[in-house]
Amino acid sequence: MIDWSQIDELRAEVDDAFDEVVSLFLEEADDIMARVRQAQGVPRRDPAALAADLHALKGAALNLGLRAFADACGEGERRAQSGDADSIDLDGIIACFAASRIALLKGLDRDAA
């Protein structure tokens, strides 16, 4: 679910700013995920806006090593871009984000201990 070698690489790159980078990612991801949640069950949602949100989440997730979440967002982005936004598994993306967030925070807590 999480590529810890990517986390280690990011930590080495940003050094003392690592905690701030993680905090900023989670803040931004929470904001975007709120929009994704609003898109659930909405027929004819704006596929371009949804694709843009999923693209942003995918990029941030890749930087933090959240591979499964990035993959889910990438698949959703592809479907939205191809005009098939109604087939996106938003429930799965939301669940994957929640699980990835928990795993990331637990793993980082272990590292800090």
- pLDDT digit string (tens) for 49-105? 999 999 999 999 998 999 999 999 999 999 999 988 888 999 999 999 999 999 999
Higher pLDDT, 46 or 80: 80
- Give the span between the Cα atoms of 44 and 76, in whole angstroms: 15
Band of pLDDT at residue 37, cut at 50, 70 and 90: confident
Instruction: Tell whether pTM > 0.85.
Output: yes
For the chain, give the number of residues: 113
Angle at the Cα of 23 (from 99 to 88), degrees rounded to 5?
Answer: 40
Residue ranges of the domains in the chain?
Answer: 4-112
Residue 20 pLDDT > 90 = yes
Residue 73: predicted pLDDT: 97
